[in-house]
Amino acid sequence: MQPKPNIVHLPVYQPGKPVEDVKRELGLTEVIKLASNENPFGSSPKAKEAIAREMENISIYPDGAAVELTNAIAKRFGVNTDQVIFGAGSDEIILMIARAFLVPGDETIMADQTFPQYKHNVQIENATIIEVPLKDGTHDLKAMGERVTDKTKVVWVCNPNNPTGTINTADEVEQFLSEIPSHVLVVLDEAYCEYIDDPSFPDGLKLLAKYPNVILLRTFSKIYGLASLRIGYGIGRPDVIRSINQVREPFNTSRFGQAAALAALQDDEFIAFCREENKKGLAYFNRSFAELGLQAFPAYGNFIMVDVKRSGQEVFDALLRKGVIVRAGHKLYPTYVRITVGSQEQNEKVIAALTTVLQELAVKV
């Protein structure tokens, strides 16, 4: 008889369906994957050159403290080096925060439809989860603040929210933070912040300077296009970062990830290009959805969530058969699908496929 694990109740994370699997299963030659919020324009040429140079050091352990990259992030954002921590994607930093700060009996607050890794890692620590319903697809910060008690240790705010793509404004976040007790750590997950040029979006670094119980999470997986290298980072007050570092595994980021991130950080021109193309893609999707009589949540990242007015899973399956991979299965939004913004060519093919699918499904009814 094998030992019984204490995590049998946990769901296994389901990533977007791989392109090669879809091609093989459905006999397709072309598949467009717009399910995982990846950058359709790849990564900076400077990052690719850095990866190639790093091949010479493939047998050598990485710098566990990521000193050079830490210095670059600290300089870029005007913080001290002891305020920065790196992880295998911002996902690992979420894991480390849960491990460092939560024990059974502690409470943690999050939205009821947000990035699932918050809940997953909290469940592993057996802390108590308080889920607060979204309001029009957006974090209801007032309601979240009202749920804070003496037992609350961590509050998670995904901004823009994944999967809905909505944001909380600077005024909303400022008001929220001003009312949160100092013993509560507030995680502002800003994985998609580089896509945003809206003046109403909060400046997380200014908030961090004012509120010591804030930690910012960011990543090189999205606009920087380094998703496969798994590297993200957190910026917080030194005492918060020190606590998280105590549970960090040694060598948790690779030489390739560190080198590529350092190079990508220097290529502002590539980032500006991706931001502008993403803005055009979102505008195209919104126009197209309006023509189809569909309504989407306001989108600020590199994805958009649209109500297809029927089972989202049914639409997902039908699109899959046409070689288009999107995301469905959101528990509170069963008639929605989430679509990553691709290149203009990809976007047009997705809309063409969606138009056909909705027509075909309407005929079946």
Angle at 340 between CA 336 and CA 342, to 5 degrees: 140
Q: How much is the pLDDT for 104?
A: 96
The alpha helices in 11-77, defined as continuous H runs, are 19-26, 45-54, 67-77
Taking the C-alpha atoms of residue 17 and residue 32, their distance in angstroms, rounded to an integer, is 11
Q: What CATH code is carried by the domain that includes residue 32?
A: 3.90.1150.10
Q: Which of 297, 233, 238, 257 is closest to 85 using CA atoms?
A: 233
277 and 205 part of one domain: no
Q: How much is the pLDDT for 23?
A: 64
328 and 252 part of one domain: no
239 and 287 part of one domain: no
Q: Which two tokens stand for residue 206?
A: 């200014």
The answer to whether residue 289 sits within a structural domain is: yes
Cβ-proximal residues to 166 (8 Å cutoff; 6+ apart), any chain = 136, 137, 138, 139, 160, 297, 298, 299, 300
The answer to whether residue 6 sits within a structural domain is: no
128 and 219 part of one domain: yes
Cβ-proximal residues to 250 (8 Å cutoff; 6+ apart), any chain = 64
Q: Which of 208, 240, 266 is the last residue of a domain?
A: 266
38 and 49 part of one domain: no
The answer to whether residue 233 sits within a structural domain is: yes
Q: How much is the pLDDT for 13?
A: 47
Taking the C-alpha atoms of residue 281 and residue 347, their distance in angstroms, rounded to an integer, is 7
Helix, strand, coil tally for the chain in percent (to 5): 45, 15, 40
201 and 319 part of one domain: no
In 10 A of CB 33, how many CB atoms?
A: 19
SS3 assignment for 210-244? HCCCEEEEEECCCCCCCHHHCCEEEEECHHHHHHH
82 and 153 part of one domain: yes
Q: What are phi and psi of 186, to 5 degrees?
A: -105, 115
Q: Which of 251, 266, 281 is the last residue of a domain?
A: 266
Q: How much is the pLDDT for 8?
A: 45
The alpha helices in the chain, defined as continuous H runs, are 19-26, 45-54, 67-77, 89-101, 116-124, 141-146, 170-179, 204-210, 238-245, 255-264, 268-291, 312-321, 344-364
The answer to whether residue 49 sits within a structural domain is: yes
Q: Which of 215, 241, 266 is the last residue of a domain?
A: 266
Sign of the Cα pseudo-torsion (302, 328, 95, 238, in order): positive
80 and 225 part of one domain: yes
Domain ranges, residue 130? 45-266
The answer to whether residue 7 sits within a structural domain is: no
pLDDT per residue of the chain (365 residues) written in tens, 0 to 9: 555 555 545 555 455 567 667 666 667 668 899 999 999 999 999 999 999 999 999 999 999 999 999 999 999 999 999 999 999 999 999 999 999 999 999 999 999 999 999 999 999 999 999 999 999 999 999 999 999 999 999 999 999 999 999 999 999 999 999 999 999 999 999 999 999 999 999 999 999 999 999 999 999 999 999 999 999 999 999 999 999 999 999 999 999 999 999 999 999 999 999 999 999 999 999 999 999 999 999 999 999 999 999 999 999 999 999 999 999 988 899 999 999 999 999 999 999 999 999 999 887 75
Q: How much is the pLDDT for 31?
A: 85
Is the previous residue joined to 212 through a cis bond, with omega within 30 degrees of 0?
no
The answer to whether residue 81 sits within a structural domain is: yes
Across the strands, what pairs with 217? 189, 234
The answer to whether residue 172 sits within a structural domain is: yes
Question: Are 347 and 304 a contacting pair, CB within 8 Å?
Answer: no
Domains: count for the chain = 2
The answer to whether residue 64 sits within a structural domain is: yes
247 and 98 part of one domain: yes
Q: What is the DSSP letter of 26?
A: H
Q: How much is the pLDDT for 209?
A: 95
